[in-house]
A = this chain, B = another copy of it.
Amino acid sequence: MQDYFKNIPEIKFEGENSDNPLAFKFYDENKTILGKSMKEHFRFATCYWHTFTWPGLDPFGGQTFERPWMGNADPIKMAEQKLNCAFDFFTKIKTPFFCFHDRDIAPEGSNYKETQKNFMHIIDLMEYKIEETGMKLLWGTANAFSHKRYMSGASTNPDPEVFAYKAAQVKDCMDATLRLGGQNYVLWGGREGYETILNTDMSKEMDNLKRFLELVVNYKHKIGFKGQILIEPKPHEPTKHQYDFDSAACLAFIRKAGLEGEIKLNIEANHATLSGHNYEHEIAYAIANDALGSLDINRGDTLIGWDTDQFPNNPADLIMAFYFIFSNGGLGNGGLNFDAKIRRQSIDPEDLFYAHIGGMDVCAKTLVAVEKLIDDNVIPKFIKDRYSDWDGELGKYIHNKDSSLDSIHQRVIDNDIDPKTRSGRQEYLENIINKYL
């Protein structure tokens, strides 16, 4: 049944004027832009969970997708069939990378040993598939939130057995990520938080979270994994409050744990908007704090209060995010992971392709705009000029170790300092951006 996508050809670049919905209009993987090919810049990844595992549920409705591997038979056979279909999809959509959770790819067994065996069986097959296709693993991660054992948290669970269980999963998943050549390892703390403060010892939970991060970093060094360890911020959902609320909250506890430099961030647009920020804010903040690791490139709907995990469809939502990234050295070991799901009404195999094509094209179109933004140098120069007085005498004095509130106060009095207002030119700059889009 790896024929599920048999009617769909490999997706090719056909250019802006193509009417073929199964072709790229903007994403030309070999096109050089800002000194590298699009493929090298974006490092797109397809995610395994939404794309192959999610059956179309929502809180008020059941399965709508009828993928052949979602039948009732032997779960291991189903996992094998899913793997084949997934790699068929990867090679047709041509994202060079993919990402997975341990539980997406292999079923839970009757105890941990059997679960591990199931997992390793699929990892063996995956290793072969990777070799066969040239696909690469952007990152691996362990699902420590779906099973009921995690209902009250994973590393922040009141029960240390749950912490231990997650530790076991993460160990196996890090091993597999290393073996498969994975370039990053991600921790998403979907249940690392609380539902009600009435039954919660926040201090103890955050201490346990800190211990978990230490164990992960120690193990990374022990096994010689060279990739990045990444935390993915999200404010809530499923949990009422999650400790990794946003980039700043993550940095607060990373710094407390003394792990700055060891752990970076995997930032998602939809999580950013749920936390009251936008994507470019979270990215610029991570860059300013030297903590940008990788990106999830799915959007939300700002009129809706839950994670909609939609494919990006608007260059205006991405241009500043991409500008910060690509004018600051690019994604490095990170990439753009489509942690995005098609709508539950989009039930056909084609819909999976339309969604990824749309997302990749929007990124490509945005990068072309960003190149112009960088080349024209109007906005970068505007920003530089706006702060240029900080290179002047007063600016330098303020940052001089010898200055103090009272010495600066004296200057205000002596020089009768009376700052003049200058236009922030927001509308002018917005018009400039619109030239590029």
Contact = CB atoms under 8 A, between A and B. Distances in A.
A246 B238 CA distance: 21
A240 interface: yes
A346 interface: yes
Q: List 9 tightest A-B contacts by C-beta distance, closest first.
A: A305-B305, A345-B424, A302-B302, A248-B249, A168-B412, A355-B427, A203-B288, A161-B419, A198-B429
A320 interface: yes
A348 interface: yes
Determine how many copies of this chain the complex contains: 4
5 contacts: A160-B395, A164-B417, A196-B424, A313-B316, A351-B427
B413 A158 contact: no
Contact of A151 (B64, B199, B358): B64
Given A148-B421, A197-B281, A425-B199, A237 B306 contact: yes
Contacts of A149: 418-419, 421
Given A311-B427, A316-B316, A350-B428, 15 more contacts: A21-B428, A60-B190, A63-B148, A152-B424, A157-B419, A164-B412, A165-B417, A165-B419, A167-B405, A168-B408, A200-B383, A219-B404, A219-B406, A248-B253, A311-B430
A163 interface: yes
Contacts of A151: 56, 61, 64, 344-345, 421, 424
A215 interface: yes
A361 interface: yes
Contact of A412 (B165, B218, B382): B165
A289 B426 contact: no
A218 B402 CA distance: 11
Nearest to A62: B146
